[in-house]
Amino acid sequence: MSVSSTISKDLTVQFLRTHDLPGRARVLAQHIAESMQDGAVALYMVEAPLSSWKVVAVAGEIHLPTGQLPLETGRLSNLARTPEGLVLSDGELCREDYAHLKLGREPRCWAALPILSDRQLVGAVEMVSFDGAIKPTNLVLLRGLLEDVGPALAHPLRYEQERANYLTAISRLHELYDSQKIFNSTMEMELLFDLVPSKFREILQVRAVNLWLVKDEKQLLLVSRAGDDRSLPMSTPQQAREGLVSQVSDSGEPGIINDPEDPYLKQRNAALADGKISCLMASPLVAHGDQIGVVEAVDKLDGSAFNEDDLLLLTSLSETAAQALNNASLLHAERKVQILNTLVKVSTELASTLNLDRLLQSLVHLPGAVIPYERASVAIEQRGQLQLKAVSGMTQIRSEDVGVKQLTGMLEWASTARDMILVTQHGEVINDSRADTRLRFKRYFEETSMRGFCALPLADGEGRLGVLCFESSDPDFISPSHLEMVRVLGAQATVALRNASLYHEVPFIGVLEPLLQKKQKFLALEKRRRAIWSVAGAAAVIFLAGFPMPMRVEGDATLVAAHTAQVQPMIEGTIRAVHVREGQHVRAGDVLADLEDWDSRAALAAAQAKSAIAESEADRALSVNDSSAAGMQRAQVDFWNAEIERDRQRLQKTQLRAPFDGWVTTPHIEDLAGRHLAPGDNFAEVVDDSMVKVDIGLDDPDVLLVQPGSLALVKLDSLPTRTFRGEVAIVSPKSDIDGDRRSFFARVALPNPDGIMRPGMQGRAKISVGWHPVGYILFRRLILWVYSKLWSWISL
């Protein structure tokens, strides 16, 4: 008993100094080895739940090649079944009893004692003696010792197990958060179909994950898979009550199958020679009370069966994935609605005009609201030759341009196809089965930097009409929904182009037939009435051709700011206070905001202090007739005076001031207090209110009549009782596209002394363009239209 007490006291002291399991195990193993004359000790703990022996400490001439041993290892298996001690002497001991031990000498005695806590087996002590049998008295003392230290070893073991469980829970929370970020990083349904199963498989550590989506009330469809599952091909439907997936879908509750003899698993494994499924679990995908589908996990990679923890993790992941899939489906539906709206708009535009130019411009510009192309073009068949007629973003097509020649050549090649052509390039791979096509597009993509080309030949029963083409530098710019839209658009464009071409083939009849009818009615009149009508007509012609009147051209007027300034700091700093609000009128030099100026003030004060010190030192040097020191100090005074001036200038720069009289237009400018600004960052926008500019929209036929200096009268909708006068300063050298027409702009500067005119106001304006005959004023547009039609018909 005295030996036991001594050992217990030593252990108590060292146990109190050591808190972790390996440390306490080493102390215990060392004490037991020292209590033996010549022996070695190995101490094991049981891995929960009774799965293996974990080596936690050794002492003496003993080595274990592995850190874990199966429960059925040698004679240790007896302790796993019955926690009773076992002692084998030299005559009873054989090599198989301790084969798991690497010993330098042959043992004379072997013993194993259990470590219990609350009558539960938590570990074991394995001992070997090299000089003789272990004394029974020592074994009794060791049994008592192990009974005392068992709880001390079990406590850190339970702590480590709980810690491992907490770490596992934290890891799963991190994985759930990570999966939520990944699933919500995209709203593209096709990307989610690949992303969801692959992420599930990575987190769950399973052989395969299948994603099923609800097709209708009675059927689910396998749309995506990650991993190896040969039991079902892709796009396999599953009917109601057909298996676990359908049961989970019908009940809305997750489920597990761990029995390989389950009828559903046997049915799926029936046609497989290898790669059979041994276990399965599934969870519904539900978002906002609506079921989207089911996610199915197949076989854990470690070969174990699925448990409730695995099912809980699958259910948690399913909630995040269901929300992401639901958002993607809503976006997909919204895009379909947008496509349908665009198709309706394009169809209405195509059906509402027989003007070929307007029709072609609609074809290349309107689909851009849905299809993210970079260039759209259309070429039509004229006189047996394909001619490029419209390109998005180009107001004029020049046949000598290199890019136009390249595009025309590709469209001529594409127009000979029978169906739609879609060629894309990912990296260096061009997705076309024909070598000549790949070579053609390799050269074309290198020259144009495009990576996607979609062309649809336009043809009907009467022959070829042309080709419609969309291009982009993104090879995935066009989706299956977009392809359906292009086909519908192509059918509508074919009908519209055929109608327009038929209309332009017979324009002369529509013009001459009314004239011939009028001539016959005039000749049928009596001679006196014909003479009167002739004189009246001649007088009207003379009046229209010779009587002058002042001519004005009209256009929509829009006010814009004459001068806008961006207030920017010249130094880096944080905004301390903002002194103005949006819409406030300020004067030139008014302080708009103050930057933090503690550093500037401190630097100024320091420079002033050092200047005063230098001045004092210079005076002192002069008082003692030390001219050299006085000169040096005077130089210091000049230096610090320069620093004072520089710091004062920097301090002034901490105040952001208005550059001129005007209005502050920055929204919520008062909320910018506390924001850090770098030199050149925009803080506020100030609009000059002393002068405004008016942009007057001019139609194409009127632009040449307007010259700089022409008088303009402006009437604003918000100020209907006042008329503002000004002179045209600039006539825009190029036109802007406004819907289906082109407009030029004349810019007029108007003084705004009372500040009542604000940028953005709209109205109408008239510009005086001189005196012209009445006939010219009344019929100028008609004459130009007739001449353009005649030119297009007979090339005058």
Which tens digits make up the pLDDT trace of 601-624? 777 788 788 888 878 877 787 777
- CATH class assigned to 353-505: alpha beta
Given a cut of 90, whether residue 92 has pLDDT beyond it is: no
CATH assignment, 565-684: 2.40.50.100
What pTM, to 2 d.p., does this model score?
0.41
> Which pLDDT belongs to residue 320?
82
The ranges of the chain annotated as CATH 2.40.30.170 are 690-794
Pairing of strands 548-561, 463-472: unpaired
Q: Cα 226 to chain center, whole Å?
A: 24
Average pLDDT, the chain: 81
- Which sign, positive or negative, has the C-alpha torsion 80, 86, 92, 96? positive
* Helix spans in 228-278 (H): 244-251, 263-269
Residue 367: CB partners within 8 Å, gap ≥ 6?
Answer: 342, 346, 373, 376, 470, 485, 486, 489
SS (H, E, C) 11-34: HHHHHHHCCCHHHHHHHHHHHHHH
The ranges of the chain annotated as CATH 3.30.450.40 are 2-163, 184-334, 353-505
Whole-angstrom Cα distance, residue 737 to residue 392? 11
- Say what percent of the chain tops pLDDT 90: 5
Reduced to 3 states (helix: H, G, I; strand: E, B; else coil), residue 733 is coil
> Which pLDDT belongs to residue 472?
93
> Which pLDDT belongs to residue 173?
61
Lookup result for tokens 């209405």: 348
Give 515's pLDDT tier (boundaries 50, 70, 90): low
Tell me what the mean pLDDT of segment 321-336 comes to. Answer: 77
Tell me what the mean pLDDT of segment 525-534 comes to. Answer: 79
Among residues 194, 253, 246, the alpha carbon closest in space to that of 215 is found at 246
Pair 575, 595: CB distance under 8 Å: yes
Least confident range from 237-251, 375-389, 482-496: namely 237-251
Tell me what the mean pLDDT of segment 392-420 comes to. Answer: 87
- What angle do the packed helices 21-35 and 136-183 form, to 10 degrees? 160
Least confident range from 463-472, 720-729, 771-780: namely 771-780
State the DSSP H helix or E strand holding residue 371, giving kind and residue range, or none if neither: none
Tell me what the mean pLDDT of segment 134-162 comes to. Answer: 78
Query: Counting every residue, how long is the chain?
Result: 796
Among residues 48, 131, 142, 158, the alpha carbon closest in space to that of 86 is found at 142
Look at the domain 184-334 and name its fold: Beta-Lactamase (3.30.450)
- CATH class assigned to 690-794: mainly beta
> Which pLDDT belongs to residue 761?
86
The neighbour count for residue 596, using CB atoms within 10 Å, is: 15
Given a cut of 80, whether residue 94 has pLDDT beyond it is: yes
Give the tokens for residue 455.
């062309």
State in Å, rounded, how far the first CA of the chain is from the last one: 131
Which tens digits make up the pLDDT trace of 271-302? 787 888 889 999 998 887 788 889 999 998 88
> Which pLDDT belongs to residue 454?
93
Backbone angle region of 134, left / alpha / beta, with phi > 0 → left and psi within -120 to 50 → alpha: beta
Pairing of strands 39-47, 591-595: unpaired
Tell me what the mean pLDDT of segment 249-264 comes to. Answer: 86
Pair 421, 437: CB distance under 8 Å: no
Tell me what the mean pLDDT of segment 106-115 comes to. Answer: 88
Tell me what the mean pLDDT of segment 427-434 comes to. Answer: 88
Which tens digits make up the pLDDT trace of 13-72? 777 677 777 888 888 888 888 888 788 999 988 876 667 888 888 998 888 877 888 888
Residue 750: CB partners within 8 Å, gap ≥ 6?
Answer: 691, 692, 693, 694, 714, 724, 725, 726, 757
Given a cut of 70, whether residue 8 has pLDDT beyond it is: no
**Single-letter amino acid, residue 690:** S
Pair 368, 345: CB distance under 8 Å: no
Give 755's pLDDT tier (boundaries 50, 70, 90): confident
Pair 490, 456: CB distance under 8 Å: yes
Given a cut of 90, whether residue 368 has pLDDT beyond it is: no
Whole-angstrom Cα distance, residue 85 to residue 122? 14
Whole-angstrom Cα distance, residue 283 to residue 244? 10
Given a cut of 50, whether residue 406 has pLDDT beyond it is: yes
Q: Where are the beta strands (DSSP E) in 199-314?
A: 206-216, 219-227, 237-239, 255-257, 280-287, 290-300
Tell me what the mean pLDDT of segment 246-275 comes to. Answer: 85
* Helix spans in 185-240 (H): 189-204
Given a cut of 50, whether residue 3 has pLDDT beyond it is: no
Whole-angstrom Cα distance, residue 502 to residue 317? 61
CATH assignment, 2-163: 3.30.450.40
Q: Render 35-98 in DSSP notation, one character per residue.
A: HSSSEEEEEEEEETTTTEEEEEEEESSEE-SSSEEETTSTTHHHHHHS---EEE-TTT--GGGG
Which tens digits make up the pLDDT trace of 619-678? 787 777 777 877 887 788 788 888 888 878 887 777 888 888 788 888 888 888 888 888
Tell me what the mean pLDDT of segment 510-525 comes to. Answer: 64
